[in-house]
Amino acid sequence: MKLPSHIDEQALSARLDRFEIETPSWGYADTGTRFGKYLQDAAANTLDEKLADAAEVHRYTGCCPAVAVHVLWDFPEGLSPQSTAAKAAKLGVRIGAINPNVFQDQCYKFGSVTNRDPAIRRRAVQHMLDSVRIGQAVGSNALSLWFADGTNYPGQGHIRQRKHWMTEALREVHAAMPAGMTMLVEYKPFEPAFYHTDIADWGMACAFARHAGPRAKVLVDTGHHLSGCNIEHIVAFLVDEDMLGGFHFNDRKYADDDLTMGSIDPYQLFRIFFEIVAAERETGADLNIAYMVDQSHNLKPKIEAMIQTVMTAQEHMAKAMLVDFGSLQAARDHDDIVRAESVLRDVYSTDVRPFLAEYRRARKLPADPLAAFRESGYAERVGKERAACKPGSSSGYA
Ligand code: PSV
Ligand code: MN
């Protein structure tokens, strides 16, 4: 494919080589909605199987060497973090962000680090401190924090007091992190709490991260915004404040729908990457951002959905890199809004898939990872092996 003349193809390919996308262990397991769970034969039952599936995604795409883990779901009592890290390495992947879980246990019904009961707050902090240690043991450099804390009714909680408890907890955990670890603070405006959420938006996450310490940054989950929100503006703003630590990628139509990245609004995804690429051009260096997927597919086959996601991410990053920043600046200098917008729209309309196919071939990767994975028969094979271990199966553990 012939690229526009202002594009340095080598630089574009080199940037894509450095564009790693972390996939989530929970994206390979059976999950459901609060209305029920439909099991898939091929979905992973154990952490080993999740790692094996993540390794498949990496094998076909070449850009997903890290797997995010959820401490309670992936590290039950007795599972050694070191041996898990060794297993991952054997499969050609590594453990990425560590996600503590302070939202599932019964004691967290009225909150974790913002619970009025000091014993429950301590338990939540202790779990995060344990997660830091797991992270150290597996060589992870990110502690990714999301809290379900909030209230459902006006008057239920003392909002400012809860803010102080959240700050104290984050400070203590930050102080326990080793030098190379980043704390990622995720926000969400609703769910499971529906009146107020203790970290409701990027501004609150940014304030909490600043209070926590210098290695705390904001995590933008693209599904965690109210309708109409300009996510790329948030991204640009946080980048400029040096406070954007990472993404949880997914797409949404109504709420936190966990849909495949770019399936609903691919132009929004392009606009997000455009802001990143623009900032990288101006600073002359890659931004230090953890690109992570947070999708848990109930209907699509999980590995296919993940490969589709990764290909979509590469496409939109590549498109953003095709922007003619010289023409864009010239248009801006003349307040030529029509031209400025066209610079983006023209690039967005460019089909970069032939370029990406060549790019992959040159790296001995399949030109079409999704087709290659389908042809491999992996899903059918593991489906047969794993189905027997599903709840409800006659030979399963249910
Ligand atoms: C919460 O909705 C969230 O986005 C957090 O990142 C959790 O860790 C993840 O989903 C769990 O699926
Ligand atoms: Mn998330």
Confidence of residue 391 (pLDDT cuts 50, 70, 90): confident
**Per-residue pLDDT at 398 exceeds 70:** no
Kind and range of the H or E element at 196?
strand 196-197
Q: Give me the percent of the chain exceeding a pLDDT of 90.
A: 93
Quote the DSSP letter at residue 25. Answer: G
Q: What pLDDT shows up at residue 217? A: 99
* 134 pLDDT above the threshold of 80: yes
pLDDT of residue 393: 60
Ligand 1 atom closest to the Cα of residue 148 is 1
75-79, 196-200, 257-261, range with the lowest pLDDT: 75-79
- β-partners of residue 183 are 143, 216
pLDDT at 147: 98
Q: Which atom of ligand 1 is nearest to the CA of 186?
A: 6
Contact between residue 153 and residue 111 where contact means Cβ atoms under 8 Å apart: no
User: 67, 220, 248: which to mutate for ligand 1, most atoms within 8 A of CB?
Assistant: 248
Please give the distance, rounded to the nearest whole angstrom, from the Cα atom of residue 328 to the centre of ligand 2.
33
Name the residue with tokens 């729209």: 345
What is the three-class DSSP state of 371?
helix
Q: How confident is the model at residue 1 (pLDDT cuts 50, 70, 90)?
A: confident
Which pLDDT band, with edges at 50, 70 and 90, does 76 fall under?
Answer: confident
pLDDT > 60? residue 174: yes
Residue 203: which of 243, 161, 254, 148 has the closest Cα?
243
Compute, in angstroms, the gap from residue 315 CA to the centroid of ligand 2: 22
At 82-119, the pLDDT tens digits run: 999 999 999 999 999 999 999 999 999 999 999 999 99
Mean pLDDT, the chain, whole residue set: 96
- Our mutation pick for probing the ligand 1 site, out of 186, 199, 261, 302, counting the most ligand atoms within 8 A of Cβ, is 186
Q: Which amino acid residue places its CA nearest to atom 8 of ligand 1? A: 146
pLDDT tens string 297-337: 999 999 999 999 999 999 999 999 999 999 999 999 999 99
Residues ≥6 apart with Cβ < 8 Å to 390: 30, 39, 41, 45, 396, 398
| Helix or strand run (H / E) with residue 24 | strand 23-24
What is the CA(384)–ligand 1 centre distance, in A?
30
Q: What percent of the chain has pLDDT over 70?
A: 98
Distance 294 CA to ligand 1 centre (A): 7
CB-count burial class (<10 Å; 0-12, 13-18, 19+) for 277? buried
Distance CA 164, CA 156 (A): 16
Angstrom CA distances, 220 to 58, 137, 145, 234, 246, stand at: 23, 26, 11, 9, 6
Which secondary structure element, helix H or strand E, spans residue 293, and what is its range? strand 290-293
For 275-290, what is each residue's pLDDT tens digit? 999 999 999 999 999 9
- pLDDT for 394 beyond 60: no
Rounded distance, CA 4 to CA 216, Å?
39
Residues 355-360, mean pLDDT to the nearest whole number: 98
Q: Write the burial class of residue 317 (CB in 10 Å: 0-12 exposed, 13-18 middle, 19+ buried).
A: buried
- Residue identifier of the C-alpha nearest atom 5 of ligand 1: 146
Say if residue 159's pLDDT is above 60: yes
Predicted pLDDT at 288: 98
Apex CA 62: angle with CA 179 and CA 38, to 5°? Answer: 90
Give the pLDDT mean for 216-231.
98
207 sits in which H/E element: helix 202-212
Which ligand 1 atom minimizes the distance to the CA of 99?
8
> Is a pLDDT exceeding 80 seen at residue 78?
no
Q: Is 384 buried (19+), middle (13-18) or exposed (0-12) by CB count in 10 A?
A: exposed
- Sequence length of the chain is 398
Q: For the segment 371-383, what is each residue's pLDDT rounded down to a tens digit?
A: 999 999 999 999 9
Task: Give nearest CA residue, ligand 1 atom 6.
Answer: 146
CA dihedral in degrees (38, 53, 219, 96; nearest 10)? Answer: 140
Domains annotated for the chain, with CATH where assigned, are 9-387 (3.20.20.150)
Q: Which ligand is nearest to the CA of 149?
A: 1
pLDDT value of residue 302: 98
How far apart CA 36 and CA 392 sit, in angstroms, is 14
Looking at the predicted structure, is the pLDDT value of residue 61 above 70?
A: yes
- What is the token pair recorded at 323? 């922007």
CA angle 52–219–66, rounded 5-degree value: 20
The closest-lying atom of ligand 1 relative to the alpha carbon of residue 101 is 8
pLDDT for 396: 38
Question: Which one of the ligands is nearest to 68 CA?
Answer: 1
Quote the pLDDT of residue 395.
Answer: 42
Compute the distance from residue 169 Cα to the ligand 2 centre, in Å.
Answer: 20
| Closest by CA position to 191, among listed 370, 34, 379 | 34
**Three-class DSSP category at 386:** helix
